[in-house]
Structure 1
Amino acid sequence: MILTGPEIRAEVEAGRIHISDFDPERLEPNSYGFRLAEDVLWYDGDVIDCFEAPRARATTMGPDGMVLRPGRLYLGGTMEAMGSPHYAATLYACRSASTLGIWIQYSAPLGHSGAVFPWTLEMKVAQPVRVYAGMTIGKLAFWAMRGEPAAYRGKYSGSSSAVASRFSLERPRAGR
């Protein structure tokens, strides 16, 4: 069951949902609007090997923002650390960003219970688009769980900004 905006606020006030720099103005009927952080990563090289740590370049957006270009995956972060030990969460682009051709999440929209940190956004664009740190780019929805919650203890625990893939920390497949 998805939480309503007023229920999200009540759970933040009760300490059951964590949203750093919580602003009730960013509450929506069933989600919370989050902002794009200033740090952005992208991968170097022509080929990425899943079992080697990727080479990532980083930049910090200034007041003039940054132009995202088609054909490249950018990793941005949320300004807010968000999550809950009591709820699962899902991340979506806001309609205003998506109708500009900005995709912020391709394959990892689920936030496990206990995962509380700034989210890494998988950003691609349909055409060149200038983005700015602090702009509302997406929304986070919270979902009640059935059963006893288990806290997230994955390889992205403790993240404080956008994080490059840590797939290389997994055991390589047989024969490699």
Structure 2
Amino acid sequence: MILTGPDIHREVLAGRIRIDDFDTTRLEPNSYGFRLASDILYYDQDIIDCRTPASTHRVVMGEDGMVLEPGRFYLGGTMETMGSPYHAATLYACRSVSTLGIWIQFSAPLGHSGALFPWTLEITVAAPVRVYPGMVIGKLAFWSMQGEPTPYAGKYVGSASAVASRLSLDARPEPLDHQLVGS
């Protein structure tokens, strides 16, 4: 079941949900509004090889923000460290942000129990849009779980800001055997 805004508040006060820095004005009926951090990453390679660490360019936005351009994939982060060892979470864009043609998460919205860090946002835009550090860009919903929680122990533990893909850390597949059977 999804937690209501008052339930999220109670769980924060009880220490069962962590949101740094928590602000009750950003509580919504079933979620918590989070802000865009100042760091934006983008890949600076023409071709990204999943087996090698991708090269990125980091931009730190100032008060004037940054214009995001269509056709480029950006990685942003949340200002807040958020998560819970007792609840799973899902991340969504704010309606006001999505109706500007900004997508902030389209492939990895699930936060496993125990995942406590600033979230990395997958950002693309339909038209040039200026964004600003500290703007409320999305919302996080929390869900109660059935069964014994298993804490997240994946390759993004310890993240402190937006993080590029770490897929290259996964084991490489065995080389294909090119011998013909029966020859």
Please confirm whether the aligned pair reaches a TM-score higher than 0.5, indicating the same fold.
yes
Matched residue SS, 1:33 = strand
Alignment coverage as a number of residue pairs: 176
1:98-142 residue CA offsets vs partner (Å, 9 max, x unmatched) = 000000001000000000000000000000000000000000000
Percent identical: 70
Runs of at least 5 residues in structure 2 that lack an aligned partner in the other structure:
177-183
Pairwise mapping of residues 62-141 of structure 1 onto structure 2 (< 5 A)?
62-141=62-141
Q: How many angstroms does 1:66 deviate by?
A: 0.2
Aligned residue identity for 1:57: H
Query: Could you tell me how far apart the structure 1 residues matched to 2:174 and 2:66 are?
Result: 42
Query: Could you tell me how far apart the structure 2 residues matched to 1:9 and 1:45 are?
Result: 43
1:164 matched to which residue of 2?
164
Query: Which of 1 and 2 has greater Rg?
Result: 2
Query: Could you tell me how far apart the structure 1 residues matched to 2:149 and 2:159 are?
Result: 21
Query: Could you tell me how far apart the structure 2 residues matched to 1:131 and 1:173 are?
Result: 40
1:41 matched to which residue of 2?
41
Query: Could you tell me how far apart the structure 2 residues matched to 1:45 and 1:56 are?
Result: 8
- When the two structures are superposed, what TM-score results if normalisation uses the length of structure 1? 0.99
1:61-109 residue CA offsets vs partner (Å, 9 max, x unmatched) = 0010000000011000000000000000000000010000000001000
Matched residue SS, 1:28 = coil
Matched residue SS, 2:35 = strand
Aligned residue identity for 1:44: D
Query: Could you tell me how far apart the structure 2 residues matched to 1:93 and 1:175 are?
Result: 40
Query: Could you tell me how far apart the structure 1 residues matched to 2:84 and 2:71 are?
Result: 34
Q: CA RMSD in A?
A: 0.7
TM superposition outliers: structure 1 runs of 4+ over 3 Å: none
Aligned residue identity for 2:157: S
1:37-59 residue CA offsets vs partner (Å, 9 max, x unmatched) = 00000001110000000000001
- When the two structures are superposed, what TM-score results if normalisation uses the length of structure 2? 0.95
Runs of at least 5 residues in structure 1 that lack an aligned partner in the other structure:
none
Query: Could you tell me how far apart the structure 2 residues matched to 1:14 and 1:134 are?
Result: 26
